[in-house]
């Protein structure tokens, strides 16, 4: 059921700010969703995500561990992980691309990454799992193929996605959970258009443009999004999955995308890479050995308010567990803070200036 109330409160070119209310919780887009794969972010307890409005969790992984019997005891993922803000669950479609599997017309035969056993994920099982997780937004199971695959393979992918989308749409009955469709079609405008129209005809509560952030160039990505966004309805959320680097998000916000998710800020942190506006630097570099300044001078996060580059570099090299916590906290804060500044800039019709200042500053 559509539990999303969306009001566009500002446009700046195609970029927009929406006020979104879901299950009584209000937030604004453009918005970034940190990824809590198994209900947790590596190295960072969820209660440190003060600015986060929506958390993403993975259907495939939570189905295998801890498993649905455990989640049922808690009436869903919110209670199990102690998160009272919003949750979006993916469908398993991405793991159908990233984890070895056998793709079939009616679902995906997966290998359990923990014990090697096989299980079959079809659109109904994906809905059942997401229903028990009781996320605020669920995604349809989709057929994701490499962006460079040929026309016939992409055509097959959008046809299977359409079939699975119809099954999911008809079956889904959770009235506190919205359901999003996913547009596929690789680099072919004709197929993107067909897939977008297929999804819109099923009247989903929001739409993802899928199959991106898996190897295309930024220019190819922008062309696909620019073309596809115009086919999607204005009064529904638009989501690009798996993308979360600052420049990539700014490029797509400019084209009208509202929400993003990615493991990127957390993964960078564990490699000692520090986000500073549109760029990042490597804290392991010896030039930071004696630096008394914070990671980013004007950052207002807990880490930058309290610690120096020199100390955090020392932790990174000698006490990595502590450093991962601090660096992840900073990187997610930077990402979310930039998106809150993006929203302000759109409200003030200054998005282009802001984008330039972040990428060149």
Residues that bind Zn ion (CB under 5 A): 299, 301, 303-304, 330
In whole angstroms, the minimum distance from the beta carbon of 295 to Zn ion comes to 5
Nearer to Zn ion (CB atom), residue 57 or residue 329: 329
**Contact yes or no for 327/312 (Cβ under 8 A):** yes
Q: What is the DSSP string of 289-342?
A: TT--S-SSTT--SHHHHH--HHHHHHHHHH-HHHHHHHHHHHHHHHHHHHHHHH
Of 339, 165, 116, 127, which Cα lies nearest the Cα of 245?
339
In whole angstroms, the minimum distance from the beta carbon of 166 to Zn ion comes to 46
Nearer to Zn ion (CB atom), residue 81 or residue 316: 316
Structure-token pair, residue 313: 């570099």
Task: Give counts: helices (H), strands (E), the chain.
Answer: 14, 16
Nearer to Zn ion (CB atom), residue 240 or residue 304: 304
Residues 6+ apart with CB under 8 A from 190: none
Q: Is the dihedral of CA 44, 48, 52, 55 positive or negative?
A: positive
Other C-beta atoms lying within 10 Å of the C-beta of residue 152: 8
In whole angstroms, the minimum distance from the beta carbon of 292 to Zn ion comes to 15
In whole angstroms, the minimum distance from the beta carbon of 304 to Zn ion comes to 3
Task: Report how far residue 184's alpha carbon sits from residue 316's, in angstroms, rounded to the nearest whole number.
Answer: 40
Other C-beta atoms lying within 10 Å of the C-beta of residue 131: 18
Nearer to Zn ion (CB atom), residue 52 or residue 101: 52
Nearer to Zn ion (CB atom), residue 237 or residue 274: 274
Number of alpha carbons in the 13 Å side-chain half-sphere of residue 263: 13
| Active site residues per annotation | 90, 261
In whole angstroms, the minimum distance from the beta carbon of 63 to Zn ion comes to 35
């Amino acid at each position: 059921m559509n539990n999303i109330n969306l009001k566009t409160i500002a446009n700046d070119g195609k970029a927009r700010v929406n006020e979104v209310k879901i299950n009584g919780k209000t937030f604004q887009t453009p918005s970034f969703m940190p990824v809590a794969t198994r209900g947790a972010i590596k190295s960072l307890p969820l209660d440190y995500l003060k600015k986060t409005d929506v958390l993403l969790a993975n259907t495939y992984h939570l189905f295998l561990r801890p498993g649905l019997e455990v989640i049922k005891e808690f009436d869903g993922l919110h209670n199990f992980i102690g998160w009272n803000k919003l949750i979006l669950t993916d469908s398993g479609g991405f793991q159908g691309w990233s984890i070895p599997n056998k793709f079939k017309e009616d679902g995906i035969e997966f290998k359990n990454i923990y014990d090697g056993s096989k299980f079959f994920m079809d659109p109904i099982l994906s809905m059942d799992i997401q229903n028990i997780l009781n996320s605020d937004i669920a995604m349809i199971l989709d057929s994701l193929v490499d962006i460079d695959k040929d026309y016939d393979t992409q055509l097959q992918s959008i046809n299977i996605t359409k079939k699975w989308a119809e099954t999911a749409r008809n079956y889904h009955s959770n009235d506190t959970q919205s359901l999003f469709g996913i547009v596929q079609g690789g680099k072919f405008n004709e197929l993107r258009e067909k897939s977008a129209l297929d999804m819109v005809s099923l009247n989903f509560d929001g739409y993802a443009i899928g199959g991106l952030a898996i190897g295309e160039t930024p220019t190819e990505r922008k062309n696909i999004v620019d073309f596809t966004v115009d086919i999607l309805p204005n009064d529904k959320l638009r989501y690009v999955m798996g993308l979360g680097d600052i420049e990539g998000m700014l490029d797509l916000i400019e084209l009208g995308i509202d929400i993003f998710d990615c493991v990127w800020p957390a993964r960078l942190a564990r490699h000692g890479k520090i986000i500073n506006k549109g760029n990042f630097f490597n804290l392991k570099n010896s030039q930071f050995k004696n630096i008394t300044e914070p990671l980013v001078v004007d950052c207002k996060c807990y880490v930058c308010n309290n610690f120096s580059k020199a100390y955090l570099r020392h932790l990174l090299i000698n006490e990595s567990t502590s450093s991962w916590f601090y660096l992840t906290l900073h990187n997610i804060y930077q990402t979310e803070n930039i998106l809150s500044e993006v929203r302000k800039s759109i409200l003030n019709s200054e998005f282009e200036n802001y984008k330039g200042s972040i990428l060149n500053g």
